Amino acid sequence: MKLNAAYWSDRYRNRDTGWDIGYISTPLKAYFDQLADTSLRILLPGGGNSYEAEYLHTRGFTQVFLLDYAQEALDNFQARVPGFPEAHLIKEDFFHHRGTYDRIIEQTFFCALAPSLRSAYAKKCHDLLARGGKLAGLLFDDPLNADRPPFGGTREEYMEYFRPYFDIQQMEKAYNSIPPRAGRELFIKIEKK
């Protein structure tokens, strides 16, 4: 199985999108609700249908960027949120993206990547963040699958990838997960070193 844009596009076309919960996840809503500065530059990589980008946009955040290499995801989003700036919809491989952000938001993107890319993900997030920038969101705390996404892992494993590039402010079991993920995810808030 080759995890590339065609693989994910097929899954959108076949409506094989079990990761898509259809609404903003409760931990991310709580996180966004305490962000006061609506000018923060926020990147949602592998954002898919991104109810999170929609939420931020409707709350007045003006510098929200949704990146995904599956065109279907961006088309779905544009049809659902027509007022979202087109220039903030980025169809690109995350690892090729250039930019500078204050926040990067993680939700079921890391677990969609081949585990061999995890260290590169940590480094890329570091490179895309401004000084003082943070990576925030959710990582599965569950072994999940070994041969296909979602790929799981543990806090200890994740620490190895992120510690070289980030100060770990929070990497704890989420208390407010959506019911199907309760007890199976970590909320992370880590700051660029």
Ligand X SMILES: C[S@@+](CC[C@H](N)C(=O)[O-])C[C@H]1O[C@@H](n2cnc3c(N)ncnc32)[C@H](O)[C@@H]1O
Residue ranges in contact with ligand X by CB under 6 A: 8, 19-20, 46-49, 68-70, 73, 93-95, 107-109, 112-113
At its nearest, how many Å lie between ligand X and the CB of residue 110? 9
CB of 23 to ligand X, least distance (A): 10
The least CB distance from residue 92 to ligand X, in Å, is: 7
Instruction: Tell the smallest beta-carbon distance from residue 185 to ligand X (Å).
Output: 12
124 in helix, strand or coil? helix
Residue closer to ligand X by CB (options 39, 71) is 71
| Residue 170 tokens, joined | 């929070």
Check: CB of residue 44 under 8 Å from CB of residue 74: no
Region of 144 please: left (phi>0), alpha (psi -120 to 50) or beta.
left
Which C-beta is closer to ligand X: that of 36 or that of 116?
Answer: 116
State the greatest distance between any 2 C-alpha atoms of the chain, in Å, as a whole number. Answer: 42
Which residue lies nearer to ligand X by CB, 121 or 158? 121
Structure tokens at 67: 């990146």
